[in-house]
Structure 1
Amino acid sequence: MRKLLAPLAALLMAMGVLAVVLPSAASAAACATAWSSSAVYNGGAVVSHNGRNWSAKWWTQNESPGSAAVWADQGTCSGGGGGTQCNYPNWAAGTFYAVGSIVRYTDGNHYIAVHENPGYDPVISHWYWDPYTCSGGPGPTDPPDPSGFVVSQAQFNQMFPSRNSFYTYSGLTAALSAYPAFAKTGSDTIKKQEAAAFLANVNHETGGLVHIVEQNTANYPHYCDRNQPYGCPAGQAAYYGRGPIQLSWNFNYKAAGDALGLPLLTNPWLVQQDASVAWKTAIWYWMTQNGPGTMTPHNAMVNSRGFGETIRSINGSLECNGGNPGQVQSRINAYQRFTQILGVAPGGNLSC
């Protein structure tokens, strides 16, 4: 019967009755979910990148498939997850780019930073940049944290690659309940700008979340204001700077402790022993204190007064109005880097 079918098929095809689809080479596999520089992948995870599927050999984060040994090439792919979607900022000379940053160059192509750099040209500085393929609209994002915080754990780790293990992400998200309006007021843009502004100032105060306590021990005895009716029950030199915002002075420990329901006046060491307490004191200052400024840092951001006003509220008397422009610029640089990681414009009024 098989031999008789061939002439019949040929006759039917000649009559236009039968269309024959000739076998073709095996088509490419469907593309897995696109690789994301901020996502964490365990061994066995499969992603797509630059038109190919890749399998993770072990745990990895921010290691680009095709340029890191952790990824095993699984061959070409098409459709499916496809290339990472395009919603990346335009490259700007002089802007700091962390590893994993993706930009759109003036030629319309995209590039990913494989080494951090201060804004080197992607088409010239090939050691710092690799070509990056993407298409369409918004790309994949990290799963949202149950706390609803606009900064994911992967983004937090990218912001603070050398942080002290004391400053945990879980400690930060646990502290959010103390002030629910923090980074949850206004539009998504404002929420991200506020989170970036807070973390940029924290970055400056702690050297990148490295220092838990103030490093200049000679200052320790100065932070006791004995004119306060409650004095300094923990000792003359007990109220030195601690935590993400470097809380100092007995009256600040008293006010923060009263607001948070914590015995910080009598036990200021809690701020350097409990990550959640440390983060709570920083958010307390951010949400409730004008400092040397005219508004709280929270109000500065949610009312679009600009990042510069948060600097004024934290250390304005020493840094703003030409007091220490280098310190101000350090804070601005961190803010611009963090807003880039969060994919949001920094807004105006960056300096004070």
Structure 2
Amino acid sequence: MILIGILIINILSVSLVKCSINWNGNNWAHNCNFKENDLSNVRVRAEQCGGKCAATPGCTHFTWTNYKRGTCWMKKGSISKSDAFESHGRNKICGVVQNEGGHGINWNGNNWAHNCDFKENDLSNVQVRAEQCGGKCAATPGCTHFTWTNYNDGTCWMKKGSVSKTDAILTEDRSMVCGVLGNNAVEGGGGSSNSSGNIVNEQTFACVFNTIDAGTRASRFNGLQESGWKPANKDEAAVFLAHVFHESDGLKAMEEYCAPACASNYAGSWCEIQGKPGKLYYGRGWFQLSWPCNYYAAGKALDVDLLNNPDAVAQQPSLAVQTAVWFYRTNKMEEPARRGDFAATTDIINGKLECNGGSNAANQRLRVDTYKRVRQCFGLGEPTINVWC
């Protein structure tokens, strides 16, 4: 366990190690810390720390450590990423909470924030949960920004017109959420697929993965960004993420729920690779990677020793994605996914059990229902290709 006293290091040393912190285009990074200025602390998981800071008045930056099995140290004062210093240990995280556009609204590096609103310009409204509002706006032609309130047990107010975060108004209602689609947002529309370099944004991701809390979802989304995977079109995004939702229970499960009790199911091997003593190879990550053969092959492709460290797939958000993408590409799912052939990809993943009246055919219905819902998040209409295998 890393003790707090170790965090006080020489200022000269700090200046020498700042450059080694890899922010990965995010507002948080591993093995780093900020000096002093503690505001408060709370025991939470690492992926919840940034959200806790954003929800705490006066918190501008934070550090998460393993202390007491996970503590978020919320900090105050003017700060930037350049003030962070390296602190050895992958289990330490630091981050800043951005305040874009003034007015006291904490956007936290996202295109949405709490306790804010946009004036007028209503386009339409619909009753949905808060985490679905951005996706609904993205799927609605003409919608450029939105507000979610508790009205009628939860209403998304979709809005039109040119807007930026600086136009948002601070409110006293913490339950309110507002957001903008931004330059990289998925535009709503009909059933065609539009090629884009950044089809999966925060709003569509929230629409797809609508059963997890905001902090967990932010961690999963950051993992996706770090992985470097980008779909060729909306069809591919919908197919891939629908399978991810199904395999991981909406990204709730980075490990099989039966683990470690079910590890014996994967103790054998169907290739020449054998598992390492004391290591368990049950399902982990976005596609629930399992079996020693797959851990070895995925690790070799990704230049990571997963045979000796299978837990890394569940523990590192980017690896959880990368192993799923490895399976997806290795099994040649990209081509059918890009043309919207969901049935063909289901056959590849679990055809023996789910297709052609297999022993788990009922599971296919859940998978198909998820796919149809996910298509709506990307503004796609009903599937034009048979979804049943």
What interval of TM-score do these two structures reach, taking the shorter chain for normalisation? 0.5 to 0.7
Please tell me whether the aligned partners of residues 276 and 307 of structure 2 are also in contact (alpha carbons under 8 angstroms): yes
Taking the aligned partners of 1:344 and 1:244, their CA distance within structure 2 comes to 23
Taking the aligned partners of 2:219 and 2:159, their CA distance within structure 1 comes to 35
Corresponding residue of 1:221: 264
Q: Deviations over 1:254-302 (max 9, x none)?
A: 111111111111211110121111110000011112xxxxxx2212123
Residues 262 and 219 of structure 1, relative CA distance in 2, 3 Å threshold: same
Corresponding residue of 2:67: none
Q: Does 1:349 align with 2:367?
A: no
Counterpart selection for 2:333 from 297, 311, 322: 297
Q: Does 1:142 align with 2:188?
A: no
Taking the aligned partners of 2:159 and 2:322, their CA distance within structure 1 comes to 41
Q: Does 1:242 align with 2:284?
A: yes
Taking the aligned partners of 2:265 and 2:324, their CA distance within structure 1 comes to 21
Corresponding residue of 1:316: 351
Corresponding residue of 2:220: 168
Taking the aligned partners of 1:343 and 1:156, their CA distance within structure 2 comes to 13
Taking the aligned partners of 1:209 and 1:131, their CA distance within structure 2 comes to 27
Shift in Å, 1:207: 1.0
Q: Deviations over 1:223-276 (max 9, x none)?
A: 1225643311253x6111000000000111111111111111121111012111
Q: Does 1:199 align with 2:235?
A: no
Taking the aligned partners of 2:231 and 2:253, their CA distance within structure 1 comes to 24
Corresponding residue of 2:192: none
Residues 311 and 270 of structure 1, relative CA distance in 2, 3 Å threshold: same
Counterpart code for 2:220: T
Please tell me whether the aligned partners of residues 149 and 173 of structure 1 are also in contact (alpha carbons under 8 angstroms): no
Counterpart selection for 2:206 from 157, 170, 177: 157
Counterpart selection for 2:297 from 255, 270, 274: 255
Counterpart code for 1:298: E
- Match of 1:168, SS state, is helix
Taking the aligned partners of 2:157 and 2:181, their CA distance within structure 1 comes to 20
Corresponding residue of 2:273: 230
Taking the aligned partners of 2:198 and 2:159, their CA distance within structure 1 comes to 29
Corresponding residue of 1:284: 326
Unaligned runs of at least 5 residues, structure 2:
1-97, 141-145, 162-179, 186-195
Corresponding residue of 1:16: none
TM-score (norm 2): 0.52
Shift in Å, 1:166: 8.2
Residues 72 and 242 of structure 1, relative CA distance in 2, 3 Å threshold: closer
Taking the aligned partners of 1:158 and 1:42, their CA distance within structure 2 comes to 24
Say how many residue pairs are matched: 247
Residues 193 and 254 of structure 1, relative CA distance in 2, 3 Å threshold: same
Q: Does 1:339 align with 2:382?
A: no
Unaligned runs of at least 5 residues, structure 1:
1-40, 46-55, 77-81, 92-96, 105-111, 116-125, 185-190, 290-295
Shift in Å, 1:141: 4.1
Corresponding residue of 1:71: 117
Taking the aligned partners of 1:305 and 1:155, their CA distance within structure 2 comes to 18
- Match of 1:337, SS state, is helix
Q: Deviations over 1:88-127 (max 9, x none)?
A: xxx9xxxxx95563689xxxxxxx9979xxxxxxxxxx87
Q: Select the structure of larger CA radius of gyration.
A: 1
Corresponding residue of 2:79: none
Residues 156 and 98 of structure 1, relative CA distance in 2, 3 Å threshold: closer
Q: Deviations over 1:118-162 (max 9, x none)?
A: xxxxxxxx8787897769xxxx843328x9331102221232231
Please tell me whether the aligned partners of residues 228 and 251 of structure 1 are also in contact (alpha carbons under 8 angstroms): yes
The runs of 4+ residues in structure 1 deviating greater than 4 Å are 41-45, 56-63, 97-100, 112-115, 126-135
Residues 203 and 227 of structure 1, relative CA distance in 2, 3 Å threshold: closer
Corresponding residue of 2:87: none
Counterpart code for 2:117: W
